[in-house]
Amino acid sequence: MTLLSVRNLRVTFDTETGPVQAVRGVSFDLDRKRLGIVGESGSGKTMTGRAVLRLIRPPGRIEADQMTFDGQDLMAASDAQLRALRGRRIAMVMQDPKYSLNPVMKVGAQLMEGLRQRDRLSRTEAHAKAVAALDAVQIRDPGRVMEAYPHELSGGMGQRVMIAMMLIPGPDLLIADEPTSALDVTVQAEVLSILDNLVKTRGMGLIFISHDLRLVVRFCDRVLVMFKGKIVEELAARDLLHAKHPYTQGLLNCLPRIGGSREPLPALDRSAAWAR
């Protein structure tokens, strides 16, 4: 069954110089699989992710012919209904742990906050659940991390804490917005395999937003390639290397390869007819 269905999604910002469309008619369906959204900055991939949670503030506007999550109409949902969905059923992991964790609160307190407030758990129960969540994202010393402040953690640890926090309520859909671009390659691989495992074992849907095609190939089933707010190509991740669209090919070719040629890297052509 389709978990999330989006038809003709548009995000518009009204500016002094007239409306700017950040997302222009995006449609996709997602079941409990891994969907990747790739594109350069400004392509509208983050806005698409945020629009699903209706997390766009005025002057931004969200319009869609249809946006349903598990049978529920997201466009018609009230604020209270949306609050019940956010976090509990649809969770989002942001790009940079430095800016997304509260710098003056211990990690443990932040992890337990939701459990205490939302699920009305006792202190001990909340503590046990938080430690278990840290365990699930392979943090070796959960006791120490619970008592640490975010600045005492490395980027990779902070990112894992955020993933743990998002996974505590057991969401059905996780939107991960560049969850690894602040991390080193070795840590990146680790964090991704944690996410991958969770999708498999919990049967969660995943929207993985990234500008790095190489990661998406490895960790997603299907890929949407976005440019200037539009989907220019949708394809199975394993076919990405044989992409038809010149923009997708351009994104792939501009990456340096180990042992590749020393010729200048091909620049991306953003001027062709499809770019309009």
Partner 1 sequence: MLIEIENLSVTFHAQGRRVRAVEEVSFSVAARESFGLVGESGSGKSTILRAICGLAPISAGQIRIDGKPLPSPRGAAFAREVQMVFQDPYASLHPRHTIDRVLSEPLAIHGLKGSDARIEQALTDVGLPAAFRFRYPHQLSGGQRQRVAIARALMLEPRILLLDEPTSALDASVQAETLNLLTRLRAERGLTFLMVSHDLAVIDHMCDRILVMQHGRAVEELSRAALASAAMTTDYARALFAASADRMLEG
Nearest-approach distance from CB 257 to partner 1, in angstroms? 5
H-helix or E-strand spanning residue 188: helix 185-202
Partnered with residue 5 across adjacent β-strands are 29, 68
> Residue 71 is encoded by which pair of tokens?
């049978």
**Residue 217 near partner 1 by CB under 8 A:** yes
CA distance 52 to 33: 16
Interacting residue with partner 1 among 1, 256, 273, 276 (CB under 8 A): 256
Q: Binding to partner 1 by residue 186, rule CB under 8 A? A: yes
One-letter-per-residue 3-state SS of 207-221: EEEECCHHHHHHHCC
Smaller CB separation from partner 1, 121 or 182: 182
Interacting positions 40-79 with partner 1 (CB under 8 A): 40-41
CB of 83 to partner 1, least distance (A): 33
239 binds partner 1 (CB under 8 A): no
- Residues 9-28 touching partner 1, rule: CB under 8 A, are none
- Closest approach of Cβ 25 to partner 1, in Å? 23
Judge contact between 103 and 80, C-beta under 8 A.
Answer: no
- Which helix (H) or strand (E) segment holds residue 34: the answer is strand 34-38
Task: Kindly report the number of other CB atoms within 10 A of residue 98's CB atom.
Answer: 14
Q: How far is the CB of 152 from partner 1 (least distance, A)?
A: 12
Radius of gyration of the chain (CA): 19
Q: Are 244 and 233 in contact (CB under 8 A)?
A: yes
Of 114-173, binders to partner 1 (CB under 8 A) are 154-155
In the complex, the residues that contact partner 1 under the rule CB under 8 A are 40-41, 154-155, 184-189, 211-215, 217-218, 241, 250-251, 254-260, 262, 264-268
